[in-house]
């Protein structure tokens, strides 16, 4: 029996006295996209933060490729292959598209080769490579956020509300890119409020 890439078992999380998650279990295989669908406040972002190590689990277990992530810091999780595109995009508005990508890379070539891979996935970004982040449309900013998360070649990509604030046309374009990403073998855990 093969082991899922991401295993979340009976996870609970709290914000002080507030129980945010209780008994959450799910599995994500390589090349698979799993969606967490729920209203605002349902705990989707909280679960993403637990996987990324930004919020400690009160109980339960999270494993990546069989490796227990419980006591690993965020930097270790990124090095182990977890990429994260947060809700609200959180790009660097004063950096160019290319600089936004390179800031996430540790390759010896400074990430230039990997940036070309990202431009192949998101051709619209290639046309904007020298433009500042703030000048991009919402859809382009979302592509940039996802592209930056892909710079470290993650085996698991966490996408928190990737369609937030996007038109139906741009949402469809972003979802097409997500399908391309999973087809390459990357697992995706996606949080959304709406089913499109």
What's the average model confidence in pLDDT over 64-72? 91
Residue 186 has pLDDT above 90, yes or no: yes
DSSP-assigned letters across all residues of 71-104: T--HHHHHHHTEEEE-TT----TTSBHHHHHHTT
Q: Cβ of 58: how many Cβ atoms within 10 Å?
A: 14
Ordered structural domains, the chain, with CATH = 32-55+82-192 (3.40.50.300)
Determine the Cα–Cα distance for residues 162 and 69; give it in Å rounded to an integer. Answer: 25
Residue 38 has pLDDT above 60, yes or no: yes
What average pLDDT is seen over the chain?
89
* Closest residue by Cα to residue 23 from 57, 56, 54, 48: 57
């Amino acid at each position: 029996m093969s082991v899922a890439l991401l295993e979340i078992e009976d996870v609970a999380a709290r914000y002080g006295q507030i129980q945010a998650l209780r008994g959450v279990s799910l599995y994500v295989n390589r090349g698979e996209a799993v969606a967490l669908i729920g209203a605002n406040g349902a705990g989707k972002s909280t679960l993403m933060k637990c996987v990324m190590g930004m919020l400690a689990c009160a109980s339960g277990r999270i494993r990546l490729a069989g490796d227990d992530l419980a006591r690993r810091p965020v930097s270790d999780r990124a090095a182990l292959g977890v990429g994260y595109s947060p809700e609200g995009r959180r790009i660097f508005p004063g950096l160019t598209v290319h600089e936004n990508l390179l800031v996430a890379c540790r390759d010896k070539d400074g990430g230039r080769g990997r940036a070309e891979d990202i431009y192949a996935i998101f051709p619209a970004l290639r046309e904007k490579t020298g433009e500042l982040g703030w000048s991009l449309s919402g859809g382009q900013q979302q592509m940039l956020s996802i592209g930056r998360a892909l710079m470290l070649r993650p085996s698991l990509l966490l996408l928190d509300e990737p369609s937030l604030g996007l038109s139906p046309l741009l949402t469809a374009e972003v979802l097409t890119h997500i399908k391309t990403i999973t087809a390459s073998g990357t697992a995706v855990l996606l949080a959304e409020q709406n089913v499109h």
